[in-house]
């Protein structure tokens, strides 16, 4: 299967998407992950303010933001809102605690949380989540 590398348009688009989403639901953790059998990378992110009660509103916000963005940035099918207790969110938060990440960082890994992956591109914590 042909695999697509994570490109600067996706990295920048993800950052813009996260900044916009962060205005309504502060983003606590965000990471692009490349699964071994997947063709494309996927953006996983979590917000402590997203609950089961308002998850539908958060998903509507995701769609609203994605529709405003150029299609070249990434596809809505690549976006995954996860809850704070999800293993991927917990692993990202653990990386934040262990390392000072002034810039986004690529980690070659074979697993992330409970997911088998080839690599992870970790965004630094957004300012609102760190405040």
State pLDDT tens for residues 117-126.
Answer: 888 888 988 8
Question: What angle is formed at CA 71 by the lines to CA 119 and CA 80, rounded to 5 degrees?
Answer: 45
- Segment 70-97 shows an average pLDDT of 88
Burial profile 29-60: b = 16 or more Cβ within 10 angstroms, e = fewer: bbbbbbbeeeebbbbbbbbeebeeeeeeebee
- Residue-wise pLDDT for 32-52, tens only, equals 998 888 888 999 999 999 999
* C-alpha dihedral, 97 to 23 to 46 to 60, nearest 10°: 180
- Angle (deg, nearest 10), helices 8-24 and 55-68: 140
111 forms beta bridges with 116
- Distance of alpha carbon 44 from alpha carbon 23, whole angstroms: 17
- Distance of alpha carbon 59 from alpha carbon 120, whole angstroms: 23
Start-to-end Cα distance in the chain: 42
Per the model's pLDDT, the better-predicted residue between 64 and 39 turns out to be 64
Residue (of 54, 107, 111, 105) closest to 83 by Cα position: 54
- Distance of alpha carbon 108 from alpha carbon 110, whole angstroms: 7
Residue 74 scores a pLDDT above 80: no
Q: What is the pTM of this model?
A: 0.86
């Amino acid at each position: 299967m042909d695999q697509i590398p994570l490109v600067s348009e996706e990295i920048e688009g993800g950052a813009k998407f996260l900044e916009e989403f962060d205005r309504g639901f502060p983003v606590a953790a965000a990471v692009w992950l490349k699964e071994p059998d997947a063709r494309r990378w996927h953006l996983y992110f979590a917000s402590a303010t997203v609950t089961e009660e308002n998850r539908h509103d958060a998903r509507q916000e995701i769609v609203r933001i994605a529709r405003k963005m150029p299609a070249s940035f990434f596809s809505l099918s690549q976006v995954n809102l996860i809850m704070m207790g999800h293993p991927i969110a917990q692993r990202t938060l653990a990386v934040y605690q262990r390392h000072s990440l002034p810039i986004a960082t690529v980690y070659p890994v074979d697993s992330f949380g409970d997911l088998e992956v080839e690599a992870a591109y970790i965004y630094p914590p957004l300012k609102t989540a760190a405040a």
